[in-house]
């Protein structure tokens, strides 16, 4: 089984004042879970060079936060910008940076953003990155409003959503949403696992209400992988629920949903990209394939 992991102990801890709960999330082990989502985008410039943009959406008792990091194709960090919780900072603005020969402009408007249980906004927001007056990344559903404020050419952003890593919380049911190809359908994903009073617990995964995977005898099969089909594409599912069953210090489980397309098909599927998101796991930007990936770190609440 491949090695995959979620965020480390030093990850950002965050909270949404508009969410249903403003208190820190306590897991069944008494450990505080980190409520954050990290999204990675591979962006292609007009000269065909690539940049990697990583957004980490977070929330804590102080409010929403956002971290932006931009790397070059050799994974060297060009810049990092922290938008601190909204109690202390504006919900919209821009940042101008000069890094070597690159002029980088970062714009955001989260003043009308609406959220679910995740720190990632679902609507009413816009985020953009401009490099040397080329718009390379545009997210959200308020692009017209933001474009009026940007000093950018008409270059259409060419990017792929490389990966999404998310912390998910629950007692028996753990849910999220995912899009496994460029303009494919956004799917509801539910992981179900009831360990209370169960001598032989079972793990279920449903996509859009349909059971696509069932693991019986979980105490013997606490790690493994299985292939499902989503949008006609094979998606490999890896799971590691050892800590749920035998862990003493932690109570989280790890899940990875991953598929793979050729780089050519991947870029083609993202042409004329709309602001909807998809899940891709970032490999070497020079490799021949880009694998879609959704990584979930699943925590049990009290």
Higher-confidence residue of 197 and 240: namely: 240
Tokens of 24: 């820190």
Cα separation, 241 vs 251, in Å, equals 9
Over residues 221-230, the mean pLDDT reads 92
Cα separation, 107 vs 254, in Å, equals 33
Asked whether the predicted pLDDT for residue 241 surpasses 70, the reply is yes
pTM: 0.75
Going by pLDDT thresholds of 50, 70 and 90, the confidence category of residue 1 is very low
Cα separation, 200 vs 220, in Å, equals 10
Hey, is 244 helix, strand or coil?
Answer: helix
Tell me phi and psi for residue 146, to 5 degrees: -80, -35
Cα separation, 83 vs 128, in Å, equals 14
66-70, 165-169, 282-286: the lowest-pLDDT one? 282-286
Q: Are strands 187-193 and 63-72 parallel, antiparallel or unpaired?
A: unpaired
How high is the mean pLDDT of the chain? 76
- Domain limits, the chain: 36-156, 169-300
DSSP string for residues in 129-167: EEETTEEEEEEES-HHHHHTT----SPPPEEEEEEEEEE
Over residues 264-289, the mean pLDDT reads 37
What pairs with residue 40 in β-bridges? 54, 163
8-17, 27-36, 233-242: the lowest-pLDDT one? 8-17
Within 10 angstroms of residue 251's Cβ, the number of other Cβ atoms is: 18
Nearest Cα residue to 43 out of 126, 128, 183, 137: 137
Higher-confidence residue of 278 and 104: namely: 104
Cα separation, 302 vs 288, in Å, equals 44
Question: What are 30-83's pLDDT values in tens digits?
Answer: 444 568 899 999 998 888 889 999 999 998 877 888 999 999 988 899 999 998
pLDDT for the residue numbered 118: 84
pLDDT for the residue numbered 83: 86
Residue indicated by tokens 């793990």:
203
Going by pLDDT thresholds of 50, 70 and 90, the confidence category of residue 282 is very low
Cα separation, 201 vs 203, in Å, equals 7
Asked whether the predicted pLDDT for residue 21 surpasses 70, the reply is no
Give the distance from CA 245 to its chain's centroid: 26
pLDDT for the residue numbered 182: 62
Going by pLDDT thresholds of 50, 70 and 90, the confidence category of residue 153 is low
Over residues 128-134, the mean pLDDT reads 90
pLDDT for the residue numbered 250: 59
Going by pLDDT thresholds of 50, 70 and 90, the confidence category of residue 247 is confident
Going by pLDDT thresholds of 50, 70 and 90, the confidence category of residue 11 is very low
Over residues 210-228, the mean pLDDT reads 93
Over residues 145-165, the mean pLDDT reads 74
Cα separation, 269 vs 160, in Å, equals 9
Hey, is 180 helix, strand or coil?
Answer: coil
pLDDT for the residue numbered 246: 86
pLDDT for the residue numbered 20: 29
């Amino acid at each position: 089984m491949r090695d995959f992991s979620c965020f480390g102990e030093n990850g950002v801890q965050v909270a949404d004042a508009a969410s249903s709960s403003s208190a820190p999330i306590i897991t069944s082990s008494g450990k505080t879970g980190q409520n954050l989502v990290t999204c990675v985008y591979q962006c292609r410039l007009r000269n065909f060079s690539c940049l990697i943009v990583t957004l980490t959406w977070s929330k804590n008792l102080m409010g929403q936060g956002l971290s932006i990091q931009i790397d070059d194709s050799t994974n060297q960090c060009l810049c990092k910008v922290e938008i601190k919780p909204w109690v202390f900072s504006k919900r919209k603005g821009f940042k101008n940076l000069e890094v070597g020969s690159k002029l980088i402009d970062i714009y955001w408007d989260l003043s009308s953003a609406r959220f679910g249980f995740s720190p990632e906004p679902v609507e009413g927001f816009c985020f953009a990155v401009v490099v040397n007056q080329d718009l390379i990344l545009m997210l959200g559903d308020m692009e017209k409003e933001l474009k009026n404020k940007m000093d950018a050419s008409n270059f259409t952003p060419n990017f792929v959503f490389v990966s999404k890593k998310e912390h998910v919380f629950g007692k028996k049911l753990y849910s999220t949403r995912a899009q496994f190809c460029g303009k494919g359908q956004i799917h509801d994903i539910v992981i179900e696992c009831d360990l209370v009073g169960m001598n032989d617990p079972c793990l279920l995964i449903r996509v859009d209400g349909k059971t696509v995977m069932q693991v019986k005898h979980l105490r013997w099969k606490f790690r493994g992988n299985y292939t499902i089909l989503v949008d006609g594409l094979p998606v490999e599912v890896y799971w590691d629920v050892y800590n749920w069953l035998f862990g003493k210090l932690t109570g989280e489980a790890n899940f990875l949903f991953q598929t793979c397309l050729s780089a050519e098909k991947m870029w083609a599927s993202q042409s004329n990209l709309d602001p909807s998101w998809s899940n891709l796991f970032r490999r070497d930007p020079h490799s021949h394939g880009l694998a879609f990936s959704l990584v979930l770190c699943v925590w049990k609440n009290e």
